[in-house]
Amino acid sequence: MMFEKVLVALDFSSYSQKILDRVPEIPGIREVVFLHVVDATHPSRLGWTHGPHIENAKILMVEKKEALEKHGLKVTIHVDVIVNVITQGTIAQSILEIADNENVSLIVMGARGINPIQELLLGSVSSTVLRDAGMSVLIIRDTSLLSTTVTDRPLFSNVLVPTDFSRPGDDVIAVLKSLEGMKKVALLHVVSRAESKAEIREGVAGAKTRLTALQQDLAADGIMATPRVRIGDPTEMILSVAEEEDVSLIAMNAHGTDRLRSLILGSTTFTVVRRAKKPVLIVRTEKKDETD
């Protein structure tokens, strides 16, 4: 099972609480690490003033720990509470260090902020964690910021899986197959490179054949898959199909290699995370090389 031990970064906002409400829905979850980072890198003129913040954070985290442990789950959740005070570095670096030290398989965070034209943005902390994490990252948006619609659907009830038929794309599907309770996915391939109508037709036909093979493979594991082929810009098509299919989650792979840190997250993946109104799971199946 994947995602047995999960790190949840908390800031105690109402937004953070909405994220916490989704944590019990993560398949296979057995243990949760709550983390709140106190940024003490910019001392006040009055000296050390973080004491009350730290103590209040501990109280709030214990309350959330007790609430989560009472959740009616088949697997009892054990929650560790960590308040990390940093005097150098960044909040993102602190989250990444704790995630490595605790050997978690998934980091759960929020994406905050809306610009003047209502396009969702990705916060700098989430962006850095997403780029540099050595494990999978789940970005959960508070969709109530955009809509009054309330949904009781489980987070993994209807997952969109964009694939380019590469090995990283196959890794995403393999991870989903390993998760408990997976029942429904939408498989999407976007034909984005073609110089003629004939090449487009050939690309679409080839994609349909390969998606059908993936559909049959998933069916063997009891997962109903719906193949979709689109033509155009990958980011736009992924976002469009996510809305058309009303998916509960988008699952994508992280492109690149650890030796090329600036290329770890593919541009399409990062743009989807930045703009999507749906939660996005970025799958990494191997931890980064510790010598890098």
State pLDDT tens for residues 78-114: 555 666 766 667 888 889 999 999 999 999 988 764 4
Mention every residue, 6+ apart, whose C-beta is less than 8 A from residue 27. 1, 2, 3, 156, 179, 180, 181, 182
Work out how many domains the chain is built from and give that number: 2
138 and 156 within one domain: no
162 and 48 within one domain: no
207 and 102 within one domain: no
Which of the listed residues 120, 142, 164 is the one where a domain comes to its end?
Answer: 142
190 domain residue, yes or no: yes
| Average pLDDT rounded to a whole number, residues 245-264 | 67
141 falls in which pLDDT band (50, 70, 90)? confident
155 and 136 within one domain: no
266 domain residue, yes or no: no
Give the C-alpha separation, 129 to 93, whole Å.
Answer: 8
Residue 155 sits in which domain range?
151-256
6 falls in which pLDDT band (50, 70, 90)? very high
What tokens were used for 141?
């948006």
**Higher per-residue pLDDT: 22 or 52:** 22
What are residue 28's phi and psi, to 5 degrees?
80, 0
Tokens 């010598």 found at: 291
Rounded to the nearest integer, the mean pLDDT of the chain is 79
The 10 Å Cβ neighbour count of residue 58 is 14
67 and 158 within one domain: no
Tokens 């399409």 found at: 268
The percentage of residues in the chain with a pLDDT greater than 70, rounded to a whole number, is 74
The CATH code of the domain that includes 181 is 3.40.50.620
Instruction: Please provide the DSSP assignment of 42-111 as one string.
Output: S-BTTB---HHHHHHHHHHHHHHHHHHHTS--SSPPEEEEEEEEESSS-HHHHHHHHHHHHT-SEEEEE-
| Average pLDDT rounded to a whole number, residues 50-60 | 74
199 and 226 within one domain: yes
94 domain residue, yes or no: yes
- Summarised one tens digit per residue, pLDDT across range 144-197 is 444 434 456 889 999 999 999 988 888 999 999 998 888 899 999 999 887 788
pTM for this model (two decimals): 0.84
210 domain residue, yes or no: yes
197 and 123 within one domain: no
157 and 130 within one domain: no
Which of the listed residues 92, 115, 142 is the one where a domain comes to its end?
Answer: 142
21 domain residue, yes or no: yes
250 and 115 within one domain: no
| Average pLDDT rounded to a whole number, residues 131-147 | 76
127 and 12 within one domain: yes
